[in-house]
Structure 1
């Protein structure tokens, strides 16, 4: 069942929060809305959920126009950043709440809750209350509650931001695994590029109310189309065509005709740094990050970031030369 958004716009007073949004979400897709605070991603999620009206455009699911369908009638599951569990209900009661208000038979509700507690790997915690759970466990319960009503679409609003780094990494894998097994179309809002890259089938990168680029994680990382995407998704060296022509001549044939509107995005791993007493670069700083070393280089007056996936033998002040594969990099619109 496809969710289709066409030419959707939303304003608050004189502020244009969303401008001409076009997006399709496939029946089994996991899509991340990625962008900085204020880019419009949460507004878009709330509109999809039915919690906020939109000004123009269309929103449909499986051919059904959702413009005038109330949130409770859309059949969507929603998980908020704060989890919003009922503190006076047990884990089992929280998960079964949606079924209870839909007047499911008690036996069917108990079976469904038991099934979901197995799915989220918390079968032994049915009688605990939210305050007796860790953050990760509360998040699992919130997801199970959203899944209990067999939602047509699952909507996640920054669901991992309140967790510590280790639990967050574990929950990424668990959420993705559950989504794949159930085959529910899922839209997740996040400002964390690593979450988007590791979880999404496709990423919708947003900035100032518009979609900058839609693509797979690999596409956005290796072939960003705009300066914003290149700078927001991962780390990039953004280079003007004139500098490329003089300093990286092997890449010059690929410079776009209308070069004033473009920069070259080179990822740090595209740069091969060699210690060279006659080299034109100087190592300014080295940051050891465990599996990689990040190296800051002064290259003819321009700072470049390179990465080495092994312990670097370089030291600050070393002279270096630079090698770049002629096929590396991507020209992006400014």
Structure 2
């Protein structure tokens, strides 16, 4: 009996990014499968953040295509945004909204109304933000802002999760908590791609390892 093929959650086809004469990302192809954690590593300036910015549409592609759950990044932008979440290494927030108001805004924008308060409190308690829920994020420490970025991702449903250096500002407990979270999301069938310099994190999480050097991406063992 032939094994049924599982479609990829995210497909990258001949993606490249060029700034004038500088090739920031050479044409590349890869996919992300549901229930799999892929980790992208490489030296500073190698193109990791540029790649994630291209995958999310924050930076326009010079060539190629990106699709999420069969939807094209540009042609089906609304559908893609419903299914993919990005947590940058320096999350940005609205100046006029408190942390709690951010959660409510993101939840309502994504149709998460049922049990919102219960889920939001659970996430903020879990990540140690509950007592600071009524503060504005610009009063948070860098680690707290990163945790808030994670909770904003988790308050809504998604199929693909992208994270840029997610442990860079977390303490040991925060890193352990994030690792447990990512293991749970993998079991739920989410496709995950994260960048990191931390070899310990790679060893604990990676189902697949990708290396980027001088804008070129290749799989590693």
Q: Do both share a fold (TM > 0.5)?
A: yes
Indicate whether 1:211 and 2:214 are aligned. no
**Which of residues 174, 187, 199 is equivalent to 2:177?**
174
Indicate whether 1:80 and 2:83 are aligned. no
Distance 1:122 1:162 in 2: 15
Structure with larger Rg: 1
Indicate whether 1:62 and 2:65 are aligned. no
Spell out the pairing of 1:44-193 with structure 2 (5 A cutoff). 44-70=51-77, 73-75=80-82, 76-102=84-110, 105=113, 108-120=115-127, 122-130=129-137, 133-163=140-170, 167=171, 169-182=172-185, 183=188, 184-193=190-199
CA contact (8 A) 1:95 1:142 kept: no
**Which of residues 31, 36, 41 is equivalent to 2:38?**
31
Distance 1:160 1:189 in 2: 10
CA shift, 1:204, in A, is 0.8
Unaligned runs of 5+ in 2: 1-7
Unaligned runs of 5+ in 1: 220-334
Aligned residues: 210
Q: TM-score normalised to the size of structure 2? A: 0.79
Spell out the pairing of 1:247-258 with structure 2 (5 A cutoff). none
Residue deviations 1:27-51 (CA, integer Å, cap 9, x gap): 1222222111221221111111111
Q: 1:103 to 1:25 in 2, by over 3 A?
A: closer
Give the match's secondary structure for 1:74: helix
Q: 1:85 to 1:159 in 2, by over 3 A?
A: farther
Residue deviations 1:189-242 (CA, integer Å, cap 9, x gap): 234444433433222111011124x24xxx3xxxxxxxxxxxxxxxxxxxxxxx
CA contact (8 A) 2:10 2:33 kept: yes
CA contact (8 A) 1:91 1:141 kept: yes
Q: TM-score normalised to the size of structure 1? A: 0.55
**Greater relative CO, 1 or 2 (CA 8 Å, sep 6+):** 2
Distance 1:132 1:11 in 2: 37
Give the match's secondary structure for 1:89: coil
Considering fraction of residues, name the structure with more strand: 1
Spell out the pairing of 1:187-202 with structure 2 (5 A cutoff). 187-202=193-208
Distance 1:181 1:108 in 2: 20
